[in-house]
Amino acid sequence: MVQETIFQHWIFTQFALPFLLIFAVLYGILEKTKILGDGKHQINAIVSFVVGLIFVSAVHPKEIVGNLILFLTVALVVVFVALLLWGFIKGKVEIGGNMENVLMGVVIVAVIAAIFWSMGIDMGAIDLLFNQSWSNTLWTNVAFVVVIAIAIALVLRKSKD
């Protein structure tokens, strides 16, 4: 039998957390904007409390906010991973020029691939690109073309200098 913790109980997930979220956000907004007046902490708290209670009594808005919070947390993790990868690549060294754009493209592609992989979505792309009878020939030719393009770019760059 699966043990249920207090954080998984319906009272906590369906009432306490949404109420605390709306209460804290609304109280912060009322305090910062001073809509109800300067130094009116009790009135701001009462208004936030009532709006929070009304919010948790309505099902649909609570589901919308819950879904938005889930999206926000996933988006924050994705941005954190992208910035972490970019920090590892760039570091304290000035890369500059086109190489920085290429590396940023690599980071973006890697993050998108990681998102698809973490969701279990490959849409047959891996099978299509790597497990076909022609895929070995294709990737060998792509590797040769890339190596030749890099060599030509290096030779042309050095001839301009």
d(CA 85, CA 79): 10
Residue 14 has a pLDDT of 85
CA–centroid distance for 10 within its chain: 27
Counting Cβ atoms within 10 Å, is residue 102 exposed (0-12), middle (13-18) or buried (19+)? exposed
Residue 51 has a pLDDT of 94
Ordered per-residue pLDDT tens for the chain, 161 residues: 567 888 888 888 888 989 999 999 999 999 999 999 898 999 999 999 999 999 999 888 888 888 888 888 988 998 998 888 888 877 766 766 777 778 888 888 888 888 887 877 766 777 777 788 888 888 899 999 999 999 998 888 776 65
Residue 144 has a pLDDT of 94
Sequence-distant (6+) residues with CB within 8 A of 86 are 104, 107
Cβ proximity of 81 and 114 under 8 Å: yes
DSSP class of 15: I
d(CA 78, CA 82): 6
Residue tagged 């973490």 (tokens): 118
Residue 106 has a pLDDT of 86
Counting Cβ atoms within 10 Å, is residue 35 exposed (0-12), middle (13-18) or buried (19+)? exposed
The type of residue at 125 is A
Cβ proximity of 85 and 110 under 8 Å: yes
Residue tagged 């819950």 (tokens): 66
d(CA 141, CA 150): 14
